[in-house]
């Protein structure tokens, strides 16, 4: 499996413990957490735990969220990537899901979409996923716009952990 990929502006690579300060800046911001459970982290230990958890996913499933780095400055912008989800969500279990989360000052520059395109390709051509899924809070317009730009299609709305969610799907075009 690949461990890093470059785009025009971005370096995408596996998360490292040295990303912890960036992860804490990302996840301690309540605005970032508005549509992802409203539980921003309070301590750096929580960010350390998050990175350890993702690194375990690399070992268990060969995939997990990756760091997104701005090549020009070497800054940590946030994360994106494909997670293998083993619990049941919207009647699906053991599926590949695309997600992204960026530090607020880096929103509105197209980075999430630029990284997301790579991970759609990665899901189908490296992981050989039959289909790629995503879900978002119903009101998360910025996230829904990205999913549509990436070619995912709205399927249904459902309730999950007390929130109204929307479910998106893209079948592997190589298998259709
Ligand atoms: C969701 C999230 C990643 C969206 O980030 P984003 O920066 O708006 O998304 P994109 O990368 O697609 O950027 C699109 C914007 O950049 C603008 N842009 C600027 N330069 C651009 C460029 N060179 N190329 C493409 N778009 C560019 C676009 O016009 C667009 O702005 P608009 O929405 O006003 O039309 C971000 O809001 C976030 O991290 N939120 C918190 C976590 C979260 O909710 N995650 C999703 C959970 S489901």
Residue 175: per-residue pLDDT: 87
- 3, 60, 76, 83, 162 from 6: Cα distances, Å: 11, 24, 14, 19, 38
- Give the CA radius of gyration of the chain: 15
Ligand 1 atom nearest residue 145's Cα: 12
The confidence score (pLDDT) of residue 158 equals: 98
63 touches 49 (CB < 8 A): no
CA of 6 to the centre of ligand 1 (A): 19
Which residues of the chain fall short of a pLDDT of 50?
none
Going by C-alpha positions, the residue among 47, 83, 52, 78 that lies closest to residue 65 is 83
Which atom of ligand 1 is the closest one to the Cα of 9?
A: 23
pLDDT given at position 1: 73
14 Cα–ligand 1 center, Å: 21
Rounded to an integer, what distance in angstroms lies between the CA atom of residue 21 and that of residue 31? 18
What residue segments make up the domains of the chain, in order of their start? 5-171
Q: Would you state the structure tokens that stand for residue 39, as one six-digit string? A: 């539980």
**Ligand 1 atom 25: the closest Cα is on which residue?**
110
Instruction: Output the pLDDT for position 77.
Output: 99
The residues that bridge with 131 in the sheet, in sequence order, are: 171
Overall fold of domain 5-171:
Aminopeptidase (3.40.630)
Contact (Cβ atoms closer than 8 angstroms) between residue 69 and residue 104 = no
pLDDT tens readout for residues 82-124: 999 999 999 999 999 999 999 999 999 999 999 999 999 999 9
Q: Which residues are near ligand 1 (CB < 6 Å)?
A: 32, 35-36, 100-102, 107-113, 136, 140, 142-143, 145-146
- Amino acid 170: pLDDT: 98
């Amino acid at each position: 499996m690949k461990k890093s990929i470059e785009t025009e502006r971005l370096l995408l690579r596996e998360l490292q413990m040295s990303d912890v300060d960036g992860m804490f800046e990302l996840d301690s911001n309540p605005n970032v957490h508005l549509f992802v459970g409203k539980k921003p982290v309070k301590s750096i230990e929580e960010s350390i735990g998050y990175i350890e958890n993702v690194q375990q996913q690399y070992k268990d499933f060969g995939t997990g969220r990756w760091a997104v780095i701005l090549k020009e400055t070497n800054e940590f912008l946030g994360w994106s990537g494909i997670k293998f989800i083993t619990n049941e969500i919207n009647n699906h279990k053991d599926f590949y899901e695309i997600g992204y989360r960026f530090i607020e000052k880096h929103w509105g520059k197209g980075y999430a979409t630029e990284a997301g395109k790579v991970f759609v390709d990665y899901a189908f051509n490296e992981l050989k996923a039959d289909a790629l899924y995503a879900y978002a809070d119903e009101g998360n317009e910025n996230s829904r716009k990205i999913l549509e730009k990436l070619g995912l299609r709205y399927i249904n709305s459902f309730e999950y952990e007390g929130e109204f969610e929307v479910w998106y799907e893209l079948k592997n075009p190589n298998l259709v």
